[in-house]
Amino acid sequence: MLPATGLRTHAWNTAIRSVLLLAGFPLLLAMMGYALALLIVAGEARTIEEGLRAAAGLLPTIIPLALLVAAIWFAIAWGAHNRILDFVTGAKRVADPRDAPRLWKLAEALCISRGMALPRLAVIETPARNAFASGLTARTAGVTVTRGLMDALDDRELSAVIAHELSHIRNGDARLGVIAAVFVGVITLVTDGVWQAMRFGSWRGIRMGHRRTSSSRGGGRGGGGVMLALIAIAILIAVLAHMLALVLRMALSRNREYLADAGAVDMTQDADAMITALRKVEQRPDMPRIPQQVRALFLHDAALSRGFGWFATHPLVDARIAALVRYAGGHDPGRLPALPEDAEETAAPEQPRQPQLEASRTPFQERLDAIAAFQRTKDRRFMDDIAKREAARREGGDPDQAAPPPPAAG
């Protein structure tokens, strides 16, 4: 690792650790394949050594099958990733900039500053304060925020959070997270299959069948002990691979959060805004109705941060802020007062869209209307006209003489 002397080297070190962690998943997949092979050969092996060799001989067949399952799993995630997340979280896409003008404006400004395409924006109607990035390609990338987050943060802080999520997209974290989830899913699938087989009587059937086999052999070399030993080894390997897969995935998630924090500061040049945003998110981050696998994508999750050591998917807010103070020169105001806990998470009512009067439209609202008109009609004339009107304003002229205004929102 490079000696971390500043924000940039801290980000590089985090990226290197992420790659090294991801490289461990194929090894765990091979371990799970070997455990499955041991279960297959356990009833035929005469000695433990013979069973271990026979299981190794099955790996060239089992590993490709496991990779095929992983490929199918990945294809499903590739095609339906955003739809699944919207369904699970209750997020609603912001298709019109007038539905969330503040979110749209801040995200657009950050994307323009980095030459990025504006991602798909969505809002979850909940008082909780959180956000996450999604998408496997630049075309499907998205940023989702909660209503509570937008209400609690000022523009600087909300820009920092959006920049954090955009950093996840720029760094390829969404793809990285899905690949890690695929590996964990395959490993979990095999582990669950083994335990379900044991639960529904396969374990008893194997023992009874082996008793008959050992009786017919009349004291052969293997006996019931060989089968039980091989099954015990298989279970031990499967459990170890499953636990290590979870640990690696959680560690990968923690590293991504540090890297995105650094990316947000690099994009906004405002470490203090990222720090105060984290402190406000810390006051009310929890969305317990969301599955844990999805909450691992969130900006912060209190429950998933309290895991013991390697079993936490998120670093503690204090640790993240300490890194921003040390490497980015930020200032920590300390923890904010705790908010009263809601008896039940309730959705905030949607704010009705207020009609805009033609005479009172601001230049920014005109720009939003032009974008909306272009999205509806795909007519570049609206964008050309708004550019002429903005140029006329900058030069002190009359924008109405330069070009007609865009149609107002209905």
The catalytic site residues sit at 165
**Do 91 and 147 meet the contact criterion of CB atoms below 8 Å apart?**
no
H-run or E-run covering 144: strand 142-146
Instruction: Please give the Cα distance from 2 to 17 (Å, whole number).
Output: 11
CA-nearest of 174, 117, 173, 162 to 270 is 162
The answer to whether 271 and 156 have CB atoms below 8 angstroms apart is: no
Sign of the torsion angle spanned by Cα atoms 173, 174, 175, 177 = positive
Tokens of 223: 């006996």
Q: What does the alpha-carbon distance between residue 219 and residue 360 come to, in Å, rounded to a whole number? A: 96
Residue 284 CA: distances (Å) to CA of 33, 64, 123, 163, 302: 42, 45, 16, 20, 9
**CB within 8 Å of 350: residues ≥ 6 apart:** 125
Given a contact cutoff of 8 angstroms between Cβ atoms, the answer to whether 38 and 55 are in contact is yes
CA distance 66 to 87: 28
Distance CA(91)–CA(94), nearest Å, equals 9
List Cβ neighbours of 374 (8 Å cut-off, separation of 6 or more). 380, 382, 383
Contact 304, 295 (CB under 8 A): yes
Buried b (16+ CB within 10 A) or exposed e, 37-63: bbbbbbbebeebebbbebbeebeeebb
Q: How far apart are CA 53 and CA 118, in angstroms?
A: 55
Return the DSSP state at 172: T
DSSP label at residue 292: H
H or E element that contains 250: helix 223-268
Q: Which residues pair with 146 in a beta bridge?
A: 124
Which residues does 324 contact at the CB level (< 8 Å), separation at least 6? 261, 265, 271, 274, 275, 330
